Amino acid sequence: MAERRYRIDTARGRLILGRFEIPVPRSKAGRIATGLALIGGGFLGFLPVLGFWMVPLGFVVLSHDLAYVRRRRRRASVWWSRKRAARNRQSSAE
C-alpha cells in the first residue's frame, strides 16, 4: 500500500505535505492551538506575510485530532478530486 502524501507523523512531530515536512507540536493541545492560529491568520490574509494559504493548512493540522474536521476535510477532498476528474474527462473529449 502506498504511503499517504499528506499526513502528520506523530513520532517525529512533522506535518508531511508531499515532499515538504513542517514541524508541528507533538501534544494534542499544541496541534489544536496551531491549527486554530493558522486558520485565524488565514482570515487575515490580506495583510503582508499572512495569507489565505494558511486556512487549508490549519484544517489539515486540526483534522489529525478532531473527527468533525477530519470528516469535512475528507468530503472536500473527495469532492475536489471528482470535480478534477470530470473536468479532465471533459477536456479530453473535446
pLDDT at 4: 62
Arithmetic mean of pLDDT, 26-41: 90
Helix segments in 8-66, DSSP class H: 28-42, 54-63
| Amino acid, res. 69 | V
pLDDT at 53: 86
The dihedral built from the CA positions of residue 33, 39, 40 and 42, taken in this order, carries a sign that is positive
Question: Does 4 or 55 have the greater pLDDT score?
Answer: 55
On the question of pLDDT at 1 being above 50, the answer is: no
What pTM was computed for the model? 0.71
Arithmetic mean of pLDDT, 48-77: 88
